[in-house]
Amino acid sequence: MASYKLFVLPGDGIGPEVMAEVEKIAAFFTQQGIAKFEIEKGLVGGAAYDAHGVSISEDDMKRADAADAILLGAVGGPKWDGVPYDLRPEAGLLRLRKDLVLFANLRPAICYPALADASSLKRELIDGLDMMLVRELTGGLYFGSPKEITDLGNGQKRGVDTQSYETYEIERIGRVAFELARKRRNKVTSCEKHNVMKSGVLWREVIIDLHKREFADVELEHQLADACGMQLVRRPKQFDVIVTDNLFGDLLSDVAAMLTGSLGMLPSASLGAIDAKTGLRKALYEPVHGSAPDIAGKGLANPIAMIGSFGMCLRYSFGLGELADKIETAIATVLAKGLRTADIKGDAPSSISTVQMGNAVLEALRASI
Ligand code: NAD
């Protein structure tokens, strides 16, 4: 039986609650002899600050580096609002992304038929939606320098951020998108603004060149990022894989995500380069949502985003695509039965708790194995 080392960082707020439901599923797979998951646990965010005075300890950084994959719940909350900027809970997550060079952020937007009416778009536009947004995560406007506010001495100030991309950064994110498309419907839409940005001109050139050299079998189209935003709400099912930079990806992934309803449903993956020795990628899997302090500790959190993130881990880190499919089918089965946590309740007469939803997904999985 293959064995995988998972480093689990439940974090703050609802993080530990939704993570507990994933641990049950991992334990089930281990008990069934399907795959062995060795779970080590660490602290991140406010939990790490309370224990060690930092948002992630050096020891936990080492363990994260050594793991086959990292699962993270969520970080943050009002309890740590007064903490110095460098020690704030989010810094732990940013450090993991930066130090492990997790440059590719994958956010699927899948519309489960049972939830199609929860979208703000008409059912026919999103029923059956299955797209993937690939966002560059470690470069671009959020990291380029100079990044500063200068006092101009005349009562005015100037704020500057720098959008900067080098060829290798565009190539490696492009490669992730093309490789993903090959396993899906074989189409990539690359988004930039080459009409007004030099980084956009380079982005387009590099993607076209990479496509020609290595991925000519994949359909490639280009959209200006603003037009892509419009198309996402106009006709989202035209997309298979969208690849874009850090800034546009930040905006477009939130638009794509909300096509499908609640934050509690949305998984994500952040991937690094493939290690030549092990063949594994550095990878961190986490729900899109935050620590939801308003519902933490009340048993109201929807664990599906976290469970879906574990599914992505099985698919993208461990090559266990069939097992990931079973998790997605189990989630669809539970939703089709009408079981809902409060966030996706809509007009349903009642809702179930975090633990009940986790158990329902586990039972549906058990029935399928
Ligand atoms: P949030 O995602 O925590 O919550 C937004 C709303 O969605 C809340 O009403 C919440 O109850 C609801 N919600 C979120 N996840 C849910 C789930 N699984 N089930 C049911 N409802 C859910 O965003 P926020 O309120 O803006 O931020 C709260 C804290 O989380 C802040 O400290 C923020 O910095 C942090 N945050 C962390 C991450 C992360 O860890 N990656 C991401 C976003 C926000």
Q: Is 121 within the bounds of a domain?
A: no
- pLDDT for 215-274, tens place per residue? 999 999 999 999 999 999 999 999 999 999 999 999 998 888 888 777 899 999 999 988
Q: Which atom of ligand 1 is nearest to the CA of 80?
A: 32
Nearest ligand 1 atom to alpha carbon 293: 28
Residues 80 and 193 in one domain: no
- 243, 276: one domain: no
Residues 6 or more apart in contact with residue 145 via CB below 8 angstroms: 162
Distance between Cα 221 and ligand 1 center (Å)? 34
- The residue whose C-alpha atom lies closest to atom 38 belonging to ligand 1 is 290
Residue 81 lies in a domain: yes
The last residue of one of the domains, among 225, 259, 293, is 259
| 28 and 65 together in one domain | yes
If asked whether residues 195 and 210 sit together in one domain, one would say yes
- Which candidate, 130, 102, 121, 111, places its Cα nearest to that of 241? 130
- The answer on 146 and 106 residing in a single domain is no
Query: What whole-number distance in Å separates Cα of residue 307 and Cα of residue 362?
Result: 10
43 found inside a domain: yes
**CATH code where residue 219 lies:** 3.40.718.10
Catalytic residues: 142, 193, 226, 250, 254
What residues flank ligand 1, with Cβ below 6 Å? 14, 18, 74-77, 90, 93, 263-264, 286, 289-295, 301-302, 305, 343
Q: 154 and 247: one domain?
A: yes
Contact 135, 288 (CB under 8 A): no
CA of 315 to the centre of ligand 1 (A): 25
Q: Are residues 289 and 334 in the same domain?
A: yes
Residue pair 89/26 in contact by the 8 Å Cβ criterion: no
Domain-located, residue 124: no
C-alpha 77 – ligand 1 centre gap (Å): 9
Based on the domain organization, do 177 and 254 belong to the same domain? yes
Distance 37 CA to ligand 1 centre (A): 28
Tell me how many domains the chain contains. Answer: 2
The pTM assigned to this predicted structure is 0.92
Hey, whose CA ends up nearest to atom 42 of ligand 1?
290
Alpha-helical runs (H) found in the chain: 15-31, 46-52, 58-66, 89-99, 123-126, 167-182, 198-214, 225-234, 246-258, 304-316, 321-336, 354-368
**Is residue 120 a part of any domain in this protein?**
no
Instruction: Give the range of the structural domain holding residue 63, as residue numbers without chain letter.
Output: 1-110+264-369
Q: Using one digit for the tens of pLDDT, what is the confidence trace for 69-100?
A: 999 999 999 999 999 988 999 999 989 998 99
Same domain, 229 and 336: no
Pairwise CA distance, residues 341 & 335, whole Å: 10
Please indicate, yes or no, whether residues 287 and 251 belong to a single structural domain of this protein.
no
Residues of the chain with pLDDT under 50: none
